Amino acid sequence: MGAEKHVYADLEMLSSAVAAEIVAAAQKSIAARGQFTLVLSGGSTPRRLYQILAGAPAIAILWSQIQIFGGDERCVPVGDPQSNYSMAHQNLLAHIAIPPHNIHRIPADIDPPELAASAYEYLLRAGGASWKIEPTGPSFDLVLLGMGADGHTASLFPNSPALAEKERWTLPLLAPPVHDARQRITLTFPVINRSRQIFFLVSGTDKREPVQSIFADPASARDGYPAARVQAAWDSTQQRIAWFLDQAAAG
Ligand code: 6PG
């Protein structure tokens, strides 16, 4: 089944729609499997979504059964303005009744970065008392992703050796020089692409070109835009990939 495209007038409408989708996914997952493993994306686009989720009554009662993970992180101290975790904490995690042991922060402040990536991978593969990420078949219940104007997603950038990773679930890598916080830890396609659901949240005219290229010809877009490499790797009839775009990004 191909990727869905949902277009909204603006970021506010996009964020409200995705919040409703996340609540529905959480309710269904918890009813079916007693858990909901949710990977948060970084950057700025999801900020409003996180604020809406923080105040959403329907999910408020579910947080104790929801496990939160990071999709990628900059190797900066917690609290640094560049930290994806800090953005999620300020706009969501600090405002919800979620048990602290349900929040699985990427330990990107551990040095060296290879140790940070290995520690996170160990956690994901080990699981916890009330959650598990399967080594084959479905991995996370829902992964949120953004996309840069260069078509990167998580911290998987064009021409990176990380794009070819087939085994590891996390990697340390350097973002291109244009980025301030270059040292990163990121989930990789082997674990992202097995998720039951994957939502892209994309806003702004600077994303229009990669969005249009990916939807016009996903196969050829793979070379230039890593986001085009997000595809069903478990069972395309049971996995859902949905793009939530504002009009500026959709064109
Ligand atoms: C990061 C993000 C990255 C982000 C895109 C879009 O750490 O930068 O995970 O993949 O989602 O760069 O960022 P904006 O939402 O700020 O445009």
Q: Tell me, in angstroms, the distance from the centre of ligand 1 to residue 233's CA.
A: 23
Quick one: pLDDT at residue 226? 98
| pTM exceeding the 0.85 threshold for the entire prediction | yes
Question: For the chain, where are the alpha helices, taking DSSP H only?
Answer: 11-33, 47-54, 57-60, 84-91, 113-126, 189-192, 208-216, 218-224, 247-250
- Domain-by-domain residue ranges, the chain? 4-66+99-250
Tell me the per-residue pLDDT of 157-180, one tens digit each, with 9 for 90 and over.
Answer: 999 999 999 999 999 999 999 999
CATH of domain 4-66+99-250: 3.40.50.1360
Position in ligand 1 atom list of the atom nearest CA 146: 11
Q: Which residue has the tokens 């790797």?
A: 233
Tell me the per-residue pLDDT of 55-69, one tens digit each, with 9 for 90 and over.
Answer: 999 999 999 999 999
Q: Tell me, in angstroms, the distance from the centre of ligand 1 to residue 146's CA.
A: 5
Position in ligand 1 atom list of the atom nearest CA 46: 15
Which residues are CB-contacts of 81 (< 8 A; sequence separation ≥ 6)?
A: none
